[in-house]
A and B are shown apart, each in its own frame.
Chain A
Amino acid sequence: MADRTPGRVRTVRQPSALRWPLRIAVVVYLVLLVVWPVAIVAVKTFERGTGAVLHALAQPEVVFAFELSAANAVWAVVINTVFGVGISLLLVRYEFPGRRALSALIDLPLSVSPVVVGLALLLVYSGRTGWFGPVLEGLGLQVIYAQPGMIMATAFVSLPLVIREVVPVLHEIGTEQEQAATSLGASPLQTFLRITLPAIRWALLYGVVLTLARSLGEFGAVNVVSGGVAMRTQTATLLVQERYNQFGADSTTAAYAASFVLALLAIVALVVVSSLRPKEHDR
């Protein structure tokens, strides 16, 4: 990589009259849209003191909701990591009819509304009316209004994140290292574990962090397939919505506290991701 490090080229730019107005416009826009609302959430959370927040977060429903969110997210990450790496290898290393179509299909979860995703899953897997659901239910596997459906919905919406990170890196590293490993006697599995995986590890980790963050925050699709029953199928985001719509200061505090934790987790994910970025380039 060292031979491709770009030189330090300094561009000389004419000072523009628009420079400061543009900067101010950007800052104002970001403050109004992102910083201020998130800050208000933080302020509202601690309006009644830290004790109330800790009390709200210690409620069994809240603890359960976060545990469920975390479990769903971890499952979605595991599924999307395994399939994401597999699909990425398929897309980059093999030529087959429909490859471009598959590549376009992978972006579908990004463009389709999560509510539609939830509805689609409902149509297929619903225990009573679904296309495939009654069969599974007969086998004792309830998908809709249960954890499997929530995991599927979460995995669906976060599907492209790992793939979109890994594919460019696979393109960049090319096939020569893998061929060299093969000619040195490595089996396909050895080649994957010792050559391909280390080469894509930063991109993969980045994709995993994004998937985790996206999964924790998932609301629409999970809302449709879960039913949102407290202590059974209510995730953290669903809990926020329910508590916010309830009357009473305790409910409101619980909603804000859960929101605050979700926002905090997202920020931690962002920090992790941006600390990974430079490493990827120094490699």
Chain B
Amino acid sequence: MSIRVSGVNKSFGDFAALTDIDLDLPSGQLTALLGPSGGGKSTLLRIIAGLELGDTGTVEIEGVDATRLPARKRNVGFVFQHYAAFRHMSVADNVGFGLRVRKRPKAEVRARTQEMLELVHLAQFADRLPAQLSGGQRQRMALARALAIEPSVLLLDEPFGALDAKVRKELRDWLRRLHDEVHVTTVFVTHDQEEALEVADRIVVINDGRVEQEGTPDELYDAPAGEFVMGFLGPVTTLAGHLVRPHDLEVETHTFPGAVAGEVARLTRVGFEVRLEVAVPEEPAPVLVTLTRADAARKELAEGTRVWVLPVPGASRVPVAGLAAARR
């Protein structure tokens, strides 16, 4: 295990930011800490980096107990959401900073800086100031700066959070390719479930300072441990006391075994997708169903059409605690 966090608690005044966190993050993998804002995931990352101290518990990095090690001795690469670029230094000086404070020979610093700049495709901007770069370029510079010290682990705190949607997407794909090339154990914090599902080898879902579930993206998506994980990883709707994904519902214009009858109350087309709100008499809220445009056209669905819905076999379902109790 490359990073082992055991029994970590952290409070800020009365607010419990993290409660009994135990986590093993394997070597060489790209792990996402996923959860809503204020859930404690950034605090956990900062505790691993040594930028914050846990109230209790230990942090082990590459088999070394790092709990009492100051941040500068943990050999951790950290990337901040807002880049934390050294404004008064050129891009090359930013990247070489970690090596210069380690008093490495000048030639080595120069060679390594050049290598890193080429890795992040910023070689032609070496002499610019960070202010002359775009947001995406600045974040790539920050990444090169963190990688230059050959860290045992790379930690990224909402690395794409400050970027616009298109750059975000590009950088996300690029991070995945970079990780396949460099293979350094990487942990990144995100509140974007799509980002986590797309990029990460493993996802740790954190909410209210606790680990809700950890596993591969498929495990989490197909077998969510509870309502929170199910709801956070994608759209959900409620049918017969269970949370189910709208695209896991089969809809027909005739009855079939087990199906629940209702009426299409609203039909919205979003690109290739059709979203239905089906009014079912037994349900307090309309049941959401998504299907492809072609499918909807073939079934001649329209607002007011009488339909029957049922989860497809193998659909992930999670019982709704609150609703089930209310029914009893």
Contacts and interface: CB of A to CB of B under 8 A. Distances in A.
A1 B78 CA distance: 22
Interface string B85-120: 111100000000110011000000000000000000
A113 interface: no
Nearest to B49: A183
B72 A182 contact: yes
B154 to A, nearest CB: 11
B80 A176 contact: yes
A245 to B, nearest CB: 51
A283 B86 contact: no
Contacts of B85: 177
B175 interface: no
Given A194-B101, A283-B87, A183 B131 contact: no
A181 interface: yes
B149 A184 contact: yes
Interface in A149-191: 173, 176-177, 179-187, 190
B51 interface: yes
From B49, B87, B102, B149, name the one whose CB has the most chain A CB atoms within 10 angstroms: B87
Contacts of A38: none
Contacts of B84: 176-177, 179-180
A191 to B, nearest CB: 9
A205 to B, nearest CB: 14
Contact of A185 (B87, B88, B101): B101
B84 to A, nearest CB: 4
Contacts of B140: none
Given A1-B131, A187-B101, A190-B101, A199 B87 contact: yes
B173 to A, nearest CB: 24
A21 interface: no
Nearest to B142: A180
Interface in A81-98: none
Contacts of A22: none
B87 A179 contact: no
B77 interface: yes
A195 interface: yes
Contact of B98 (A173, A176, A185, A283): A185
A58 to B, nearest CB: 45
A195 B86 contact: yes
B76 A183 contact: yes
A2 interface: yes
A186 B88 contact: no
A183 B84 CA distance: 12
Contacts of B77: 183
Contact of A183 (B71, B87, B102, B132): B71
Contact of A180 (B73, B74, B78, B88): B78
B191 interface: no
A14 B101 CA distance: 58
A180 B88 CA distance: 14
Nearest to B73: A185
A155 B101 CA distance: 35
Interface string B288-308: 000000000000000000000
Nearest to B85: A177
Contacts of A194: 97, 101
Nearest to A190: B101
B88 A183 contact: no
Given A176-B80, A176-B82, A199-B88, A183 B51 contact: yes
B146 interface: yes
A179 B145 contact: no
B145 A184 contact: yes
A186 B72 contact: yes
Contacts of A283: 87-88
B131 A181 contact: no
A185 B149 contact: yes
B80 A187 contact: no
Nearest to B102: A185
A200 to B, nearest CB: 10
Contacts of B76: 183
Contacts of B74: 183
A198 interface: yes
28 contacts: A1-B131, A2-B132, A176-B82, A176-B84, A177-B86, A179-B51, A179-B71, A179-B84, A180-B78, A180-B142, A181-B97, A182-B70, A183-B51, A183-B72, A183-B76, A183-B77, A184-B72, A184-B145, A184-B146, A185-B98, A185-B101, A185-B102, A186-B72, A186-B98, A187-B101, A198-B88, A199-B88, A283-B88
Given A1-B87, A176-B84, A177-B86, 14 more contacts: A173-B87, A177-B84, A179-B51, A180-B78, A180-B80, A180-B142, A182-B51, A183-B74, A183-B77, A184-B101, A185-B72, A185-B73, A185-B101, A199-B88
Q: Please provide the 7 A-B residue pairs with the shortest distance between their CB atoms, ordered closest to farther.
A: A184-B98, A176-B84, A180-B84, A183-B78, A186-B101, A198-B88, A182-B71
